[in-house]
C-alpha cells in the first residue's frame, strides 16, 4: 500500500511566509504543496510562484481553480506559468467552486463546465488550434496560446463528491479529491464509483482541516471552529453517511449568522472526525492510515495544521509523516516524490 502525503496552505500569507513554509514542507519530506483558492483570499498563483522559487522537488497545485471565475484560457495560462517557474512540477486542481452565490454567480451546468474546462485547457496547452465547440465553452479555429508552454500536457485533479463527477474524472482527469472529508467510508464510495466508470485508474485524494498537537483535546477544540463552515457545505454531499438533519440545520443557521464557534461546539466527536484530522500526532497518523487503507492514494493535511501553523507543520513532518509511512510500508525516495499518483 502506498500514498502520497501533501500539505495545503491557506492563501493569506506574505511572499516571504509562502517561501519559508514551502521550503520547510519540502525539507520535512512531504510530496507536494497545495494552495487554497477559497473565495475572498489571495489568488493561489502568486503564492505558488514563491513556493516554486523556494523548492526543487515538491509538486505544486492550486486547490482549486473554477471555470465560473476563471476562463479555461486563463486557467491554461496560469498553469503554464507555474509549470515553467517550477521546472515541470505543476499540477492543476479544478472544481466547481463554493460560495459563489455571494457574488451573484449561478453555477449552471457544472458537470459539462468542468469537463469542457479540462478538455479545453489540455487543447490549449497542447497547441491544438482546430477550435472547440462545447455546450459551455467555445474556441474559434485558429485561436490558441501565443507562446509555447514548458509541457503540452497537464496532470489534473478534479474536486468532486458525486458519481457524475467521478465519471467525468474517469474520462479526463488523473485524480479526484474529496475536499473537506476525512471519512473513510466516503473514500471507499468514491473508489467504487471510479472503478465502475472504467478506463484508466484514477487516484483518490482525501483532504481536510488538520489540527495536531500534543494535547489532543486542544487540537480538537480548534478543529471544531475551523471545520464548522466546511461541514455546512459538504455534509450534504457525503452520500456514505447519514447525518442528523436537525443537527445540520442548526449548524447551518449558526454558520449563516457568523456564529462559527457555536456551530463547531454542536458537532459530536464522531461527526467531527469525518470532516477533519485532529488530535495528537499518533491519533492523526492513525486516521491518515485509515484513509489510505480505505483507498486514498493521496492524503492532504489542510490548514491550520496546529495551534500555530508553523508548529503544526513541524509536528506533521517530524511525528505524523514518519509514522504514516512506516505503517504503510512506504520507502520515501526524495528524488521520486514529485511524481504524481
Torsion 306-52-152-146 (CA) sign: positive
Look at residue 101 in the predicted model and tell me its pLDDT: 82
Q: What is the mean pLDDT of residues 296-306?
A: 97
Look at residue 100 in the predicted model and tell me its pLDDT: 85
**Phi and psi at residue 166, in whole multiples of 5°?**
-65, -40
Q: What is the mean pLDDT of residues 265-283?
A: 97
Look at residue 75 in the predicted model and tell me its pLDDT: 97
Question: Contact, 254 vs 200, CB < 8 A?
Answer: no
Domains and CATH numbers, the chain: 4-336 (3.20.20.30)
Q: Is the pLDDT of residue 213 over 90?
A: yes
More confident residue, 148 or 199: 148
Is 326 exposed, middle or buried (CB count within 10 Å of its CB: 0-12, 13-18, 19+)?
Answer: exposed
Torsion 289-34-238-210 (CA) sign: positive
Beta strands in 57-107 (DSSP E): 59-63, 92-94
d(CA 61, CA 307): 25
Look at residue 103 in the predicted model and tell me its pLDDT: 84
Q: What is the mean pLDDT of residues 173-199?
A: 96
pLDDT in tens, 16-28: 999 999 999 999 9
More confident residue, 1 or 210: 210
Q: What is the mean pLDDT of residues 324-333?
A: 88
d(CA 14, CA 17): 5
Q: Is the pLDDT of residue 336 over 50?
A: no
pLDDT in tens, 49-98: 999 999 999 999 999 999 999 999 999 999 999 999 999 999 999 999 88
Residues 137-151 as b/e (b if ≥16 CB within 10 A, e otherwise) read bebeeeebbeeebbe
- Going by pLDDT thresholds of 50, 70 and 90, the confidence category of residue 339 is very low
Give me the percent of the chain exceeding a pLDDT of 70. 97
Q: Which three cell numbers stand for residue 111?
A: 458537470
Which of 287-291, 321-325, 335-339 is least confident?
335-339
- The percent helix, strand, coil of the chain (3-state, each to 5) is 50, 15, 35
pLDDT in tens, 112-168: 999 999 999 999 999 999 999 999 999 999 999 999 999 999 999 999 999 999 999
Residue 148's region, left for phi above 0, alpha for psi from -120 to 50, else beta, is beta
Q: What is the mean pLDDT of residues 250-266?
A: 95
Q: Is the pLDDT of residue 337 over 50?
A: no
d(CA 269, CA 275): 10
Return the closest-CA partner of residue 215 out of 269, 140, 282: 282
Look at residue 333 in the predicted model and tell me its pLDDT: 63
For every residue of 241-290, DSSP letters joined together read S---HHHHHHHHHHHHTT-HHHHHHTS-HHHHTTTEEEESHHHHHHHHHH
Q: Is the pLDDT of residue 334 over 80?
A: no
Amino acid at each position: 500500500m502506498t500514498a502520497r502525503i501533501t500539505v495545503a496552505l491557506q492563501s493569506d500569507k506574505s511572499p516571504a511566509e509562502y517561501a519559508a513554509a514551502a521550503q520547510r514542507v519540502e525539507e520535512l519530506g512531504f510530496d507536494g504543496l497545495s494552495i487554497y483558492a477559497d473565495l475572498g483570499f489571495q489568488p493561489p498563483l502568486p503564492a505558488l510562484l514563491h513556493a516554486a522559487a523556494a523548492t526543487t522537488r515538491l509538486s505544486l497545485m492550486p486547490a482549486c481553480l473554477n471555470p465560473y471565475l476563471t476562463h479555461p484560457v486563463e486557467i491554461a495560462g496560469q498553469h503554464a506559468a507555474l509549470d515553467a517557474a517550477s521546472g515541470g512540477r505543476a499540477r492543476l486542481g479544478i472544481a466547481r467552486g463554493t460560495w459563489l452565490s455571494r457574488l451573484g454567480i449561478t453555477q449552471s451546468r457544472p458537470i459539462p463546465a468542468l469537463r469542457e474546462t479540462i478538455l479545453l485547457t489540455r487543447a490549449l496547452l497542447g497547441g491544438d488550434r482546430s477550435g472547440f465547440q462545447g455546450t459551455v465553452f467555445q474556441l474559434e479555429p485558429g485561436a490558441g496560446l501565443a507562446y509555447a508552454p514548458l509541457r503540452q500536457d497537464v496532470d489534473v485533479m478534479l474536486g468532486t463528491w458525486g458519481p457524475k463527477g467521478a465519471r467525468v474524472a474517469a474520462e479526463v482527469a488523473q485524480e479526484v479529491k474529496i475536499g473537506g472529508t476525512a471519512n473513510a467510508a466516503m473514500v471507499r464510495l468514491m473508489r467504487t464509483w471510479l472503478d465502475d466508470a472504467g478506463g484508466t485508474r484514477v487516484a483518490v485524494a482525501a483532504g481536510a482541516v488538520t489540527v495536531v498537537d500534543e494535547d489532543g483535546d486542544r487540537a480538537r477544540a480548534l478543529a471544531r471552529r475551523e471545520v464548522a463552515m466546511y461541514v455546512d457545505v459538504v455534509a450534504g454531499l457525503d452520500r456514505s453517511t447519514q447525518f442528523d438533519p436537525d443537527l445540520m440545520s442548526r449548524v447551518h443557521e449558526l454558520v449563516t449568522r457568523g456564529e462559527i464557534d457555536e456551530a463547531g461546539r454542536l458537532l459530536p466527536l464522531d461527526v467531527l472526525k469525518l470532516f477533519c484530522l485532529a488530535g495528537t500526532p499518533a491519533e492523526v497518523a492513525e486516521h491518515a492510515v485509515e484513509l489510505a487503507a480505505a483507498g486514498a492514494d493521496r492524503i492532504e493535511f489542510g490548514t491550520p495544521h496546529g495551534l500555530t501553523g508553523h508548529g503544526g507543520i513541524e509536528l506533521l513532518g517530524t511525528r505524523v509523516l514518519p509514522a504514516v509511512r512506516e505503517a504503510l510500508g512506504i520507502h520515501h525516495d526524495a528524488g521520486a516524490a514529485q511524481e504524481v499518483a
